[in-house]
Structures are given as structure tokens and as C-alpha cells.
Amino acid sequence: MADVRSGAKAMDLSALPPLREVLTAHDLLADKRFGQHFLLDLNVTRKVARIAGPLEGCVVIEVGPGPGGLTRALLQEGAGHVIAVEKDRRFIPLLTELADAADGRLTVIEGDALKTDEAALAAAHAPGLVPKIVANLPYNVGTPLLVGWLTGRFTPASMTLMFQKEVAERIAAPAGADDYGRLSVICQALAEARVAMSLPARAFTPPPKVDSAVAALERVTAAAFGQRRKMLRSSLKVLGGEALCLKADVDPNARAEVIDVAGFLRLAAASL
Ligand code: SAM
């Protein structure tokens, strides 16, 4: 991990160029390996930041600032200090420019959030401020990060986190709900959890298509094999039951064990 810099030059955040221009100027494209799906509309990132508010007197740890849309919003919504931890070093130069405009309120850290000591960072860069975490999380490390924060020594006052819809719903699911499981119990035992907002895939650049297809496949197979003795019309009831099967050209009276992979892919696609 490297502490890249703390900005100290006063400039107007609202005078910064649009995020798409910044990405083009730095010749940056999203890299799937880092789970990159960017929020480039500053109206959207301001809404996310407001959910975490009020931010005055707070130090916000942001994981994965990427092009910095959410980072800008956190600063504009009045965060006392933002500590942004980014693993993809290609983004460090543009984040450094943002730090220059942030009047000393932004510290950019190049590093892996899974190995970051947030308590030490907050104590070093913003002692005395109330700690919060806000992030549009990379989908591949979102759940381990959340569980680490819930159970670790760093105790933020709140965490405002963007997950895939399915994960967010599992976190907040009540007992008895279909998606109630281990993650729901761990999160709700240690915090109060709620789904605060939903965004369509098109709000992200690039839109996370493949992820939702994989999530749909997980959902369909979990439901079908969770009750493998039942006919699909019944085991898949919450996902559409008989109508879903007919849409996917799969026999609603069949059981999970006889459906081939192509059949499950059709069921997943039909459930989206
Ligand atoms: N916050 C930006 C936004 O909303 O547009 C980017 C969000 S993108 C979903 C996830 C970001 O997390 C990317 O910038 C990615 O490079 C970064 N990232 C991925 N794995 C990481 C890790 N282990 N530690 C820190 N950052 C990580």
C-alpha cells in the first residue's frame, strides 16, 4: 500500500471537467478484473452521498473511487475528510487531480481494500472525525469486505454500500423471505440493514450485464435444487413458476435433476 498524496491546493470542485472527459483525457477504459462499473452521472452519485449524510464532521472511507464520481459527491456533500483506497493504479493520477481540487479534504491511497487498516488510516489522516464507509463496491470482493467491516476492529457509524441487487436484498432480507440466509443473519445481528435505493444496470458504465445473468442462474438453480423433489412449477414458484418454465421452453412438471444446462440458462434468461 502506498500513501499517494493529500491534496492541499484550494480549487473549486464544481469547476472540474465531466467524468467522461476525465476518463478520455487519461485514456482509461473499465477493467473487468477489478469489477469496474462506474457511476458517471454526478446527480446519481450525489444521491448516494446524501443517503450516507450528514457528512460534516465525518471521515469517509471510500473503497474503489475509480474515476472519482462518488468521491466528488462525498466532498460536495460536505464530508470533513475522504480517504479513498484504490487498487487500480491507472486511476491514481486523476484522483490526485481531484485531491488538488479538494482543499486538503481528500487523501488518496493506492492499495487493496482487503488488506487495509481503516482504523489506522482514519487516525492518521482525520483524527477525531466520525468514521463512515461509503462505496460502490467491486462485485468480486463486496461480501468479504462487508463481513470484515462488520466483524473487525474498525467501527464505522454507518456503511452505505452499492452491491448487486441480489446481494443487497439478501443483506436486508427478513426471516421467512426466500433470500434470507447466512449473510442476512450476520448483517442484521451486527447492524441495522436496509435497502436504501435501487439503480438500473444502465446507470453504470459499462452496464453489469453478465453479472446479472450469472446472478439469475444462481437464483434459479438455488430455487430448483433447494427443493429438488418438487416439480419446477412449484420449486420455482417465487420466480414465476409455470409461466417462467413455459417462457423458457422447459417442462413445468419436470424436476431440477433432469434439466440440462441449456434449460437452466433459458430459465435464468427468462427470469430477468
Ligand atoms: N467508485 C467508482 C464509481 O462509483 O464510479 C468505481 C466503482 S467500481 C464498481 C469498483 C472500484 O473498486 C474500481 O475502481 C476498482 O478498480 C476498485 N477495486 C477493485 N478491487 C479493489 C480492492 N481490492 N481494493 C480497492 N479497490 C478495488
Nearest residue by C-alpha to atom 17 in ligand 1: 64
Distance CA 158, CA 246 (A): 44
Contacts of 145 by beta carbon, 8 Å cutoff, 6+ apart: 63, 113, 114, 135, 137
Q: What is the whole-number distance in angstroms between the Cα of residue 138 and the centre of ligand 1?
A: 5
d(CA 13, CA 11): 6
Q: Which residue bears the cell 466520525?
A: 130
User: The C-alpha cell of 34 is what?
Assistant: 477489478
pLDDT band (50, 70, 90) for residue 270: confident
The pairing of beta strand 2-6 with beta strand 158-162: unpaired
Q: Is the CB of 87 under 6 A from ligand 1?
A: yes
Q: What pLDDT, in 10s, does the model give residues 168-213?
A: 999 999 999 988 988 999 999 999 999 999 998 889 999 886 556 6
pLDDT at 9: 44
Asked if the model's pLDDT at residue 156 lies above 50, the reply is: yes
- Least Cα distance to 191 among 216, 158, 213 occurs for 158
Distance CA 138, CA 64 (A): 7
Atom of ligand 1 nearest to the CA of 38: 5
- Per-residue pLDDT of 222-231, as tens digits, reads 999 999 999 9
pLDDT surpassing 70 at residue 7: no
